[in-house]
Structure 1
Amino acid sequence: MHVLPVISQVSSVSVEFFEEEYNTGVFQSRSLKSVNIIKSPRGFEERTNRNRKKRSLYGRPLFDPSAYERVLRIYRQKTSVTKSNCKKLSPSSLILPGDVGYGVDSQFKYQASTALRLAHFLSAFLQNMEDMDSFGHIKGGGRLHQEHLFGEVLANVMADFKILSSGIFYEPYTFRNPNETVRELFGPYAYRKNGGFYALDSAGLDRHYTLELWYREMKYRWNTNTEFLKTYNIRSMMRSDINGSSSVRHEHFPVTYRAPTIEQGLWMPPVFKCDDRVDTWVMTYVVPFFRGIKISRKVQFSGVVTIDVPLDRLEINPCPQPFYVQNAFKNTARCHTESTTCRRIKGFRFSRTAYGCDCKQGYEYIFKDNKRWIAGALIELEYQKKLRGLFSRYDSLKCRISSDSKISYSSVIVFANLFIVCAFRYL
């Protein structure tokens, strides 16, 4: 049994602590008495707030050199893959990190809605239409024709220049032809190339689409659990006779079906699509569709609808953001921290210089060129000159402390007093 020696609290004992607040690496000495003092609740709150500030942008540099080097590696990888050498590279070279596609869900929302509309149409048709529906002299459409589905994917590509390709990919042994035969695989796929539009059945390709990552991810997510699908009601009307004299309710009124929302779709990481058709960097949006099971009144996963959008049309944001934002380009803007704030400039396609540095309150722009902010492209250019040892204005690209150019009220009072004194002096 070991007994520790008793040390008086008044005695001067040196205890070394690492000062974490300033991260200087300097050891400080404190007395043992100061160590044994019970901290007050106020001190606990201050320590908690300090920890929170460490996790936020407070006290952290707004420019991250490691993130900047990572962005340069991403650009080098992107430019190194071309149509001519993509088949010689490894699969890992044809995919970029997922955080490169930050903002794709908001910038390409309308393109994703195109795929969602088609998925809703297929879900509503497969869950409500019977094969042999007949309403007297007005007959139903029967089964879906393959020509109809080819027309849908072609219309998606032709209607939007941002959509490079679109496809419908059925679950195996799900699609039925009008003659009651069942297809093992069926995947109408359309794409644009050299100003033209083409369509093919992807079931005949060497690699089955059921092996693709985007298909497997969506199937694993929705194959068994369809609880969170949203229920939609359509109050459809139809003509009462062949001449359209009046409208009456459809026999199935209202038409009810279950389908996903746009948030339940999935944006895949950027990949280089090396298939001799698209041959460029794309981001794929995948959304499922479902068919109804009449006996149990449940729905079952039946396939997916996809659209491909070009990565080069994505607008990136290099400005500072919190740590939890999954953006590969954040904290890479070289704005002067003390006098400027970063602002993303819209309209630039996948450019890391698409930002501007606005002057903060109390600072003003230093040049007279009809601008009120410093362009990020100019800052990056001057920084590269500085690295090469050339004449550079990089260190001067910041806002200066503002000064009042007009005559203040105190100056007016001083001049008025001087005028009165001089006037009385010469009278």
Structure 2
Amino acid sequence: YQLYPQYFLQSYFGLFPPRTRRSADYNSDLSNSSVYNNLSKNSRLPLLIDSVSKVNIITTLLATSSSIFESYIYPILALSCHFITKFLSSKQEDHIEKRRSKRATDEYPTRIASIMQLYNHLNYNPHICEFMTEDLLTMPGDVLHDADIQFESQARLALTLSHFLSSFYQIVNSDEDFPMRKAEVDLTDEQLIGEVLAAVASDHKVVGVGIFFDRGKFRNYRLPYFGPYAFRIENDINRKYAVVDWAGLPDGYENEIWFRTMKARWATNGDRSQLTEYWLKLFIRADYFGSALVPHESGFPLYFHAPELKHGQWFPPRFQCSQNHTLPRQWIVTYAVPFFGLDTLGINIEFKGVVRIDTYLSYLDINQCSMSHYVPNAFKGSDHCDYQSTLCEPIFGRGFLLGKYKCRCRPGYEYPFLDQNDFFLGDVLDTQWDILLSNTSRISSYDILKCRIAIASSIKPISFILLLSSISFAILLST
């Protein structure tokens, strides 16, 4: 039952809904006082005093009017009631939408809280990872916002290894015969171990670096797979390193998501047209003693095909949980890039393996400021800046922590406090916001952490202008 009539019908039937629900006594007398009254006939309507709560007064007064007047007045009333009803419903919907939008902006994001809770929980208790599945140990992919920019130098370290391996396996031929000289032999496992050790020791943000060959691509007739992986034993400032053959671990690496993804992409599509061609001007010794240099005989200059930085892929952050404690238990970010070589016939390019580099997730900076809706960032819009008077700016170099942003005043606003800063720190805003939402008796200062409208430094010019205005107005009145 509505509190006001919905509309007036063109057939001159008026709808009179009561303001309260009908009782049993009213239902028994429903035939005598029906809510539908035929207004086209001059039927006797109920008394106004008895039916004031359920009779439309406008329709009752117009019931005795002439038919010509009714034909003009009822369409106008119907149209007016229709617009009034729409206006009231739209106002109610606007009120609901405003409440919903305000609740969505002020509510603490539970998704961000769950991500940070998982991150801190496994940092403090890494042994519980043995009881968790792989899905629980992996963060969403949109956590890696700007990882390709912040970890670009680490990705290029893996790309350098990929270029070295691609050039070696496409140019060097161990069966080539030189007079009074020996050809270069294939890379041994000791040389590859030295490469990954040098790579992991060159950057303090790197957890580990590995070279992983596809089945039968490394010329080791004892094992089908070979994957040397060098890593830091404890933390990023420790100078102790260890090397392990990942192929000898219980799970191996052929079923890892980063290896399967790279192999599925490049094993059957390693075409020269998709890779970049690099040219080399290779010089060798003219004789055994190296008295002179001559160009390489078989084709000069030489070239090879290798991937670029865009051909690699970043994978979502995950907690590396080694069951036998061989690998470090850390939150890592993985970047993988393929490397290529010639096939057994020495004609076509084929997929040889993957170079993988792992970096610490703790070095990834979080950007909590607002962004466009299409930007994949799990933390966007989680800042607590006052959007009317301040602008959010991220603070880089603080790592994987919340609250690393600052709120600067917008043009036309000024910083209200006399201290050394001209902005509000995100740590302070987050702390005061948590106090505001808590049920404790602590007083929060969140409402005053905003910029005020900029005013003049002195009120003397304003007073002088007001005085001149008053004198001018008095002169005009006297004249």
Q: Which TM-score band (shorter chain)?
A: 0.7 to 0.9
- Counterpart for residue 27 of structure 2: none
SS at match of 1:327: coil
Q: Which amino acid aligns with 1:257?
A: F
Change (3 A) 1:164 1:235: same
Which whole-Å CA distance do the structure 2 matches of 1:23 and 1:254 have between them? 77
Contact 2:211 2:354 in 1 (8 A): yes
- Counterpart for residue 414 of structure 2: 364
What is the Cα deviation at residue 354 of structure 1? 0.6
Which whole-Å CA distance do the structure 2 matches of 1:25 and 1:412 have between them? 50
Which whole-Å CA distance do the structure 1 matches of 2:121 and 2:104 have between them? 26
Contact 2:205 2:359 in 1 (8 A): yes
- Counterpart for residue 345 of structure 1: 395
Among all aligned residue pairs of Structure 1 and Structure 2, give the percentage whose two residues are the same amino acid. 36
2:118 matched to 1:77? yes
2:278 matched to 1:237? no
Aligned pairs (5 A) from 1:21-420: 25=93, 64=105, 68-81=109-122, 82-177=125-220, 181=221, 183-194=223-234, 195=238, 196-227=240-271, 228-241=274-287, 244-251=290-297, 252-275=299-322, 276=325, 277-293=327-343, 295=345, 297-388=347-438, 389=440, 390-405=442-457
Q: Which amino acid aligns with 2:250?
A: D
Contact 1:102 1:326 in 2 (8 A): yes
SS at match of 1:85: helix
Change (3 A) 1:344 1:302: same
What is the Cα deviation at residue 349 of structure 1? 0.9
**Alignment gaps of 5+ in structure 1:** 28-59, 418-427
What is the Cα deviation at residue 411 of structure 1? 6.6
SS at match of 2:349: strand
What is the Cα deviation at residue 306 of structure 1? 0.3
Change (3 A) 1:23 1:263: farther
CA RMSD of aligned residues (A): 3.1
1:141-171 CA-to-partner distances (Å, cap 9, x unmatched) read 2111111000001111111111111111101
Change (3 A) 1:65 1:267: farther
Which whole-Å CA distance do the structure 1 matches of 2:212 and 2:375 have between them? 33
What is the Cα deviation at residue 312 of structure 1? 1.0
What is the Cα deviation at residue 200 of structure 1? 1.7
Q: Which amino acid aligns with 2:207?
A: L
What is the Cα deviation at residue 295 of structure 1? 4.4
Which whole-Å CA distance do the structure 2 matches of 1:68 and 1:366 have between them? 29
Which whole-Å CA distance do the structure 2 matches of 1:349 and 1:139 have between them? 51
Change (3 A) 1:243 1:63: farther
What is the Cα deviation at residue 63 of structure 1? 7.5
1:178-213 CA-to-partner distances (Å, cap 9, x unmatched) read xxx363111111111133101121121111210111
SS at match of 1:211: coil
Contact 1:174 1:182 in 2 (8 A): no
Which whole-Å CA distance do the structure 2 matches of 1:23 and 1:301 have between them? 64
Change (3 A) 1:136 1:66: farther
Which whole-Å CA distance do the structure 2 matches of 1:104 and 1:205 have between them? 29
Contact 2:143 2:377 in 1 (8 A): yes
What is the Cα deviation at residue 395 of structure 1? 0.3
What is the Cα deviation at residue 408 of structure 1? 7.6
Name the count of aligned residue pairs.
Answer: 377
Which whole-Å CA distance do the structure 1 matches of 2:103 and 2:154 have between them? 34
What is the Cα deviation at residue 237 of structure 1? 2.9
1:268-307 CA-to-partner distances (Å, cap 9, x unmatched) read 1011001122101101110001111364732111110101
Change (3 A) 1:371 1:26: closer
SS at match of 2:212: strand
Contact 2:263 2:351 in 1 (8 A): yes
Change (3 A) 1:394 1:26: closer
What is the Cα deviation at residue 140 of structure 1? 2.4
SS at match of 1:164: strand
Which whole-Å CA distance do the structure 2 matches of 1:62 and 1:339 have between them? 20
Q: Which amino acid aligns with 1:189?
A: Y
Structure 1 stretches of at least 4 aligned residues deviating more than 6 Å after TM superposition: 15-19, 60-63, 407-417
1:290-331 CA-to-partner distances (Å, cap 9, x unmatched) read 111364732111110101101111101000000110000000
Contact 1:63 1:320 in 2 (8 A): no
Q: Which amino acid aligns with 1:264?
A: H
Which whole-Å CA distance do the structure 2 matches of 1:209 and 1:139 have between them? 36
Which whole-Å CA distance do the structure 2 matches of 1:139 and 1:397 have between them? 75
Which stretch of the first structure deviates more once superposed, 202-211 or 398-407? 398-407
1:221-243 CA-to-partner distances (Å, cap 9, x unmatched) read 11111242111112233344455
Q: Normalization by structure 1: what TM-score? A: 0.80
Change (3 A) 1:286 1:65: farther
Q: Normalization by structure 2: what TM-score? A: 0.72
Q: Which has the higher contact order (CA 8 A, sep 6+)?
A: 1
**Alignment gaps of 5+ in structure 2:** 1-9, 11-71, 96-100, 470-479
Q: Which amino acid aligns with 2:244?
A: L
What is the Cα deviation at residue 128 of structure 1? 1.5
Change (3 A) 1:143 1:408: farther
Which whole-Å CA distance do the structure 2 matches of 1:151 and 1:342 have between them? 46
